[in-house]
Structure 1
Amino acid sequence: MANFSHLIFDLDGTLVDSKPGLLNALRFVLGEMGLDLPAEELIDSLIGPPVQQGMRNILGFNDRQVEISSRLFREYYGEKGMYEGHVYPGIQLLLEALLADGAKLYIATSKQAVFLPAILRHFELERYFDDTEGSEGAALQTKAELITNLMDRNRLEPSHRIAMIGDTKFDVVGGKANEITTIAVGYGFGLNGDLQELDPDYFAEEVDDLTEILLG
């Protein structure tokens, strides 16, 4: 491969359009808690950071509400939500081509690690990735920390030939913190203006643009 030897992908909004399941999980949470809030208007802001962080910072929940809402969210998502969505068109072809070129592929996501094996099997993505890193337990982990954990476990040193690919500011900030190339994608859940303000090394409006950047 011409430019990159190792590629770290975000999951939600980068590989998989998971919005339907996340939106339904949020609707379930709000309904169970008796809250009349506009789930459709809030969901994009909640995708990217750990769910506890979003419940606190976006919805203004106190500690007890964060505990309850996070449990309810995981309850719905673990049973139904994680299967509600689809792989973005063109992603599997891109992954096939990257493997054929000899790239090593990884996932770093704020999603709970316990969900990852079932999600990847359901969407037929598991065979593409050498390793994955997700959030563990109740501790809030930044995307930068998740990337660091993944790189340390795979003995990857900071290099411009390693890239973090994601759709939110957390992916760009996390990649920069680990001194690797950052590629922001505009087809996911992040705001394009916010992404571009962070000055990623590359910006891909669509999957075709991402393919051009990665494969040339």
Structure 2
Amino acid sequence: MTNFSHLIFDLDGTLVNSKLGLHNALNYVLDAMSLDLDSEAVIDQLIGPPIQDGLKHILKFDEKQSQLAMRLFREYYSERGMYEAELYPGILELLQELDGQGRKLYVATSKKDEFMKRVLHHFELDRYLIDAEGAGSGEKHTKAELITRVMDRNQIFSSPEVVMVGDTKFDIVGGKANEISTIAVGYGFGNNEELKGLNPDYFVEEAEDLYELLI
């Protein structure tokens, strides 16, 4: 068992399996724009970083295409996609136990504030969190910057007793940039070999393993 005093969690791919809703939103975009692309082949790469970055760098959209795609994506996701998700096994119990032990829990996510708040409330995760930091109204932020904001606002100082938990390289790089511990989870949307190559302090394969590590 570890004894972290402050735990900062990523949201998509760490606490919530949001793949179905995001995949459906992407298909909605591709259908509306009459694009013949294999959404299954790219969806995992689009989860984690800001969606506008993925549209530009992974799907190679130009600025005009990106703006249209973002509007369509958010149109579907705000009405249906965010609810087409599920908690990973044991996550709710994990947060309940950590909260009961007096640990301080936070979220740092690249999801827009509006969507982040609605997802946290829908899955009743917000009751266990002291604070959560999202990407505002969709501005571009690095995960390191989001983590820094959570830490600064809550007067959390860099320490091995503070940990970032996430499923992509952005979470691990962001945690290290803030000089805190890192836990990479292999059940989300990141590349496991890439994650291990970043030398996180801990790596867990399944959500149930995260419970064993933290509790």
The two structures have a TM-score, normalised by structure 1, of 0.97
Two-structure CA RMSD over aligned residues (Å):
1.1
Q: Give secondary structure in 1 for the equivalent of 2:7.
A: strand
| Residue 9 (1) aligns with residue 18 (2) | no
- For residues 206 and 16 of structure 1, what CA distance do their matches in structure 2 show? 13
Shift in Å at residue 119 of structure 1? 0.9
Structure 2 residue aligned with 1:211: 211
- Name whichever of 191-200 and 136-145 sits farther off: 136-145
CA distance in 1, matches of 2:2, 2:207: 18
2:156 alignment partner, SS class: coil
SS at match of 1:137: coil
Q: What letter corresponds to residue 6 of structure 1 in structure 2?
A: H
Residue 27 of structure 1 and its aligned partner are, at CA, apart by 0.3
Letter in 2 for 1:66: S
Matched, 1:49 2:49: yes
Paired position in structure 1 for 2:179: 179
Q: For 1:54-73, what aligned pairs fall within 5 Å after superposition?
A: 54-73=54-73
Distance in 2, matches of 1:136 and 1:118, equals 13
Corresponding position of 1:161: 161
Aligned to 1:131: 131
Q: After alignment, is 82-91 or 136-145 more displaced?
A: 136-145
1:148 is aligned to 2:143? no
How far off its partner does 1:210 sit? 1.1
CA distance in 1, matches of 2:59, 2:26: 11
Q: Provide the identity percentage.
A: 60
The equivalences for 1:191-206 within 5 A come to 191-206=191-206
Q: Residues 2 and 213 of structure 2 are in contact (CA less than 8 Å); yes or no, is this contact kept in structure 1?
A: no
- Could you tell me which residue of structure 1 aligns to residue 21 of structure 2? 21
Which consecutive residues of structure 1, in runs of 5 or more, have no partner in the other structure?
A: none
Q: Give me the whole-angstrom Cα distance separating, in 1, the residues matched to 2:36 and 2:153.
A: 44
Aligned pairs, how many? Answer: 215
1:115 aligns to what? 115
C-alpha deviation, 1:212, in angstroms: 2.1
Over residues 74-110 of structure 1, what are the superposed CA-to-partner deviations in whole Å (9 max), with x where a residue is unaligned?
1111111000010011111111110111101000000
How far, CA to CA, are the matches of 2:134 and 2:166 in structure 1? Answer: 14
Equivalent residue for 1:78?
78
The letter of the residue matching 2:155 is R
After TM superposition, which residue ranges in structure 1, 4 or more long, deviate above 4 angstroms? none
What is the deviation of 1:207? 1.6
Equivalent position amino acid for 2:72 in 1: L
The Cα of 1:208 is off from its aligned counterpart by 2.2
Q: Quote how far apart the aligned CAs of 1:67 are.
A: 1.0
- Determine the C-alpha separation between the residues in 1 that align with 2:117 and 2:48: 19
Q: Distance in 2 between matches of 1:196 and 1:75?
A: 36
* Other structure's SS at 2:175 match: helix
Kindly provide the CA deviation profile for residues 40-93 of structure 1, in whole angstroms up to 9, marking residues without a partner as x.
111000000001000011001111111111111111111110000100111111
**TM-score under structure 2 normalisation?**
0.97
Q: Unmatched 5+ residue regions in structure 2? A: none
SS in 2 for 1:14: coil
Q: Which residue of 1 aligns with 2:102?
A: 102
